[in-house]
Amino acid sequence: MTDGPMRTCIACRTRRSATELVRLRRRPDGVVVPDVARARSGRSAWLCPSRACISRAVQRRALVHALGGPRRLAVRTPEPGALQASITDAVASRLMVLSRTISRDSAGAGPPHAELTALTATQAVLLHAGEVA
């Protein structure tokens, strides 16, 4: 069904396709930010886009361990609600970029289409997570 790389959620330890997870990275100032476009190389952490996993990753310091690495770099984790909001915003703006790319180049089923489909599913999970609050 889903091909491609598998990743493990740092909160619930479930292995899933990378397209079902959100990638997070540590900015040079230590702040944890989503990397939805996956454009940056370097240390990253993967998380289910669910409220439960976002909260757990923050509260159990899983993000600090995953992103601080062996050198124990400073990691500044937002509150769960703020992190969820920044992930939701990042997914929405990435979807906007992708849909523009696709309408310019309407060649059919290329990689942008696959990413768009995956991100639309991620967004649905995030919005659902928001309602549960």
Q: Residues in the site for Zn ion, rule: CB under 5 A?
A: 9, 11-12, 48, 53
Positions of E strands within the chain? 6-8, 15-17, 22-26, 32-34, 44-47
Report the helix count and the strand count for the chain, using DSSP H and E. Answer: 4, 5
* Nearest distance in Å: CB 49, Zn ion: 9
* Nearest distance in Å: CB 45, Zn ion: 11
Question: DSSP letter at 77?
Answer: P
* Nearest distance in Å: CB 74, Zn ion: 24
Query: Which is closer to Zn ion, CB of 22 or CB of 90?
Result: 22
Query: Which is closer to Zn ion, CB of 57 or CB of 98?
Result: 57
